[in-house]
Amino acid sequence: MAALHDHKPAHLVSPLRIALRGQTLLTSPRYNKGTAFPSAERKTFGLEGRLPYRTNTLEEQCERAYGQLESRDLAIRKNTFLQSLKEQNLTLYYALLARHLKELTPIIYTPTEAEAITSYSQLFRRSEGLFLSFPDEHIMEELFLEETRGRDIELIVVTDGEAILGIGDQGVGISTAKSVIYTLIGGMEPAKSLPVVLDVGTDNQNLLNDPLYVGWPKNRVRGEGYDRFVDKFVQLVRKHYPKCLLHFEDFGVTNARRILDRYRDTHAVFNDDIQGTGAVTLACIMSAIRISSLSRASASSPEKKKLSDQRYVIFGAGSAGLGIATQLRDAIISADGLSRQDANRKFWLIDRDGLLHDKLKINGLTARLQELVRPVEENWGEKSVSLLEVVERMRPTVLIGCSTKGGAFTKEVVEAMMCGLDEGAHPIILPLSNPSRLAEATPEDLMHWTKGRALIATGSPFENVKVVVDGKEKEIAECNNALIYPGLGFGAVLSKSRSMTDTMLIAGAKRLAALSPALSTAASDDEYNGAALLPDFVDAPKVNFEVAITVAEQAIREGTASEEWKIEEVRQKASEKVWIPVYPEYIYDEQGIRRFECYVLI
């Protein structure tokens, strides 16, 4: 565990005073150690005779659990086994995941979790979190307090289940995967997080026709009723947990951005689909620009060195595309001092109607999207303008795909991009749609079409590419939100920030970019040698720890933090607070100190 959690020294894992005993202790997922209870604790807590004779280490328990896991042949069966383990022993669950991080994250998160969600009404599993249904709006506060009373909640992940990646509207379902990643990778204490489902119905006809569907079997509430229901929930969070982080997850395109905008100035709120995607993409582009500027091949060319020097074409103008454009635009304003209007002019957004420009009549554009529409003086005519036409005319240096249109970055498009670049320049191409079959291009094709010069990151994992031109192997970075959002969240919680500001997001992105393997190797070799633009996912816990420290420091600098620490104290405070999956020593609380907290089964 040292490699994954060396940012948490063993001496900082404090003993825990608890009042549970006997079978009650063994059935508490939060406190159960199973066969790892040492003999002294077995005697103290009335466990003698309730467990087999031999005491196991956590490492031995992980080995046994992994053996059971491997006997499951399908990913969904592995998911079910891990869910069962989670319901028995939280520490063992997270310890097992941490030891096999890259292998098991796709089992408990994307893509396997999507299958578990679609089967939610057909599977028996222990209920987790809080379900708030529209017909119970009048007793929402009572239900909220019943679930949270006596608990120190630092993170709430809330969903209305309308836009789950790859499967759309699933109505009511599980909302725990994001909370798990916050703990596994971000170090948030699991007992202090709360997953919440806002059940406002579903427009998925298959669910409405399913007699086993466990949610409220009505069409989705829209308009004023929906806004009132969401606002009532948010105000409960602000009233009872004013310093917690409120994470909005899988909200539909008509609600996600406006809900984020409505509350972001009054509470620490976050939307990973918008801000997490934008932040990790910003980090990737920062890394790529820096690599390009260090390369010998481009040293003599007038290659652009700053964010504001780039020309960005974004193919896909939904929540992700708009989130990326907004995050990049805000970073340009912050880092390079451009006005908002001038920064907006660095972007060309393309959706199903083609390039968004003033002469194209498009209904329903939001205010944020409207300001990124290309001005009339560019004279695009009144027709739909294709991706190829935009690339040929505007000569982008950065091409980003979040369209879910597999293969959209054709050889013709990429070669047109190359023709528009300065000699020796590195095109930055990010096909971010996932899963892999929906990627706008494969890294292998991009490398061959650009003669090995492209700087690439993808939204799904791909194998490394050995480029025929120079024989070098290129490591393909996965532009994975989990490399940054757990750290952003932990930083906000650590500092008890009153909001998640744009400058905090940018600070986190800069820190992630600075940890790029490609940047470190290029800096030492004075030439890009094919290393990945972002850290490997296996290093995500350490990476997010660094991101969290940077975010907390920024919150303190700008005065949004409730904690009144000195900047130099933040790293130590983070090391003390971060949660890691190890068994602490138990001390019996004979007087029932913290009794209520101890009896909450997480």
> Which residues form the catalytic set?
109, 178
Q: Match 């000699």 to its residue by tokens.
A: 423
Which residues are registered as beta bridge partners of 528? none
In order of 56, 199, 403, 478, 521, the CA distances from 533 in angstroms are: 41, 40, 22, 9, 11
CA distance 196 to 275: 20
End-to-end distance of the chain based on CA atoms, in angstroms?
24
How far is Cα 457 from Cα 533, in angstroms, rounded to an integer?
7
Q: Are 459 and 431 in contact (CB under 8 A)?
A: yes
User: Whole-angstrom Cα distance, residue 274 to residue 322?
Assistant: 8
Distance CA 515, CA 526 (A): 17
CA distance 164 to 431: 20
- For residue 291, give Cα distances in angstroms to 275, 283, 305, 470: 24, 12, 10, 18
Q: How many CB atoms lie within 10 A of CB 470?
A: 11
Q: Between β-strands 347-351 and 354-355, what pairing exists: parallel, antiparallel or unpaired?
A: antiparallel
Half-sphere exposure of 386 (CA within 13 A, CB side): 9
231 is in an annotated binding site: no
In terms of Cβ atoms closer than 10 Å to its own Cβ (0-12, 13-18, 19+), residue 458 is buried
Q: Is 273 assigned to a binding site?
A: yes
Q: Is 227 annotated as a binding residue?
A: no
Nearest Cα to 369, choosing from 399, 383, 349? Answer: 349
Helix axes 387-394, 411-419, angle to 10 degrees: 10
Token digits of residue 65: 């659990």
Kind and range of the H or E run holding 382: none
- Known binding residue 146? Answer is no
Whether residue 434 is annotated as binding a ligand: the answer is yes
> Which residues define the annotated binding site for (S)-malate?
434, 480
Residues marked as binding for a divalent metal cation?
A: 249-250, 273
Q: Which residues carry a binding-site annotation?
A: 249-250, 273, 434, 480
